[in-house]
Structure 1
Amino acid sequence: MSRRRRNSRTRRLSDTGTENEAERETKSFWHGVNGMPDSPAKIQVTEQPASVIRSLGSAPLTGQETVTEHYFEAVYQRSVALASAIAASAEMLGDDEDEQKG
């Protein structure tokens, strides 16, 4: 035969139906008082992903500058491709018209 289950103390305490101060503070922290913000501007995909990094100069790896530049360029291009794919999936990918509006 099965034993009869006893109600746990935490279950009894949580079934009061009223919110305590800590629960209200938690909700106000995570949900805030304002509604959802406006949607952000569309994202423009760059044609030269390594331009900012290249402006800092070559990597301080003596004797391997050309090899590192090649691999760094590949990483930058891949990161831009992934970021633009994520932006496209969220329908946030802009075009030239969006750039002129902003």
Structure 2
Amino acid sequence: MADPTAQEVRDYIAMGLPCEHLQVEGDGRHFFATIVSSEFEGKSRIARHQRVYQALGDRMREQIHALSMKTLTPAEWAQAPQAPQAPASSHHHH
């Protein structure tokens, strides 16, 4: 079986889990997913990951060990510090 692309992994997760936000990066061997879903409300991190594995089903059983993920509820996502778009101004030169 060919290695899935990041887009395919994203599609698999989206098919099995309604997400507010879903981003998958990867090179075919290792993937990193940011998943925001209201289904994660009140669930532990382990339970959230199991929910994602469930969404992926058999499609990625072989590759699943290469998937690291950040699972957030919409509320947590809203509070999470997003990657700054502007250059960080933490360095002051005098």
TM-score w.r.t. structure 2 length?
A: 0.26
Higher relative contact order (CA 8 A, sep 6+): 1
Computing the radius of gyration from Cα coordinates, the structure with the larger value is 1
When normalised by structure 1's length, the TM-score is 0.24
Flag the structure with higher strand content.
2
